[in-house]
Structure 1
Amino acid sequence: MLKNEEFALTKELTKEQQEAARNFIQVLFQEDLSEFWNILCDIDKSRIYGLYEANHYYDSDVELHGFVQEIRDNVRAVYAPLQGQGGISTKVRYTSEGKMYVYILGSGENPRVYPVGLMPETYIEEERFSQRLQISIYNDEFRNVAL
């Protein structure tokens, strides 16, 4: 679990951040793998592809679609208690590297907090810099799900 002292800044949650966290939970449990892939940040896509390449090198039967499905299934298992949509924190927490965490509270007898990682990605559109929030399923230590 992430602790507040691990963050450089805590602010009020914006509507865009709230929607990104809610959308992640919805997309995660849909069947369309391409939607899951499209909400991931570029860093995580690169990590997944690198892991796939390494696995494919040693086992040519490994194919990318199935590899990504397996990762999604593992992430689904972590966030399964949120399928009924838990409550979202009113705060967003920023790391010193710029990654954001939104907490979602699960329901049930023993509710726990589930962090959803958001990465701001910048792109140029019509000669202006724009930003979108993408999901990060890894924490800053390689190969660890962000919990």
Structure 2
Amino acid sequence: MSDTIILSERAEFDHVIQEVSKYIHLYVMAFEKNERTITRIDKRERMYGGKGIVYMIQMFDQKELANNRLAAYMVLLNRGDESGFHTHHERNEEELYVVVHGTGEYRERTGTQGPVRKKTLQKGDITTIRSIGYHSIENTGDEPLIMFVITTNNP
């Protein structure tokens, strides 16, 4: 990977942190550990076939939380950014979205062809999906859609 790409990605991630920090404090106080901020940022273009870019601001190291695969901020910076329909069936997971800022359209269905149920989400709303379902989220507002996502695994 060239230095130019690394610097460009660093600037992009710094921009994401700057935008998110306008609305929330990126901070973790984990039991018996030093206080800290994020562990890393993942960039996912066309996440699960969706549109635009989704950033995952990881707040914990992998395997740091028991039976949790993920505890991170999902950030859809721009109107139209979307995480497409996906399931958590393969890993026997349940996933919760807690909206901390912005507005979005949440969609869910049973199976790949079931009827789609839609709901406009805003700050404070919580959704959950079990392993049999499929879900999707799209930023429909003019500000970043920021959600805290918790994905649990039932081993």
Give the TM-score, by structure 2 length.
0.31
> Using CA pairs below 8 Å that are at least 6 residues apart, which structure has the higher relative contact order?
1
| Bigger helix fraction | 1
Give the TM-score, by structure 1 length.
0.32
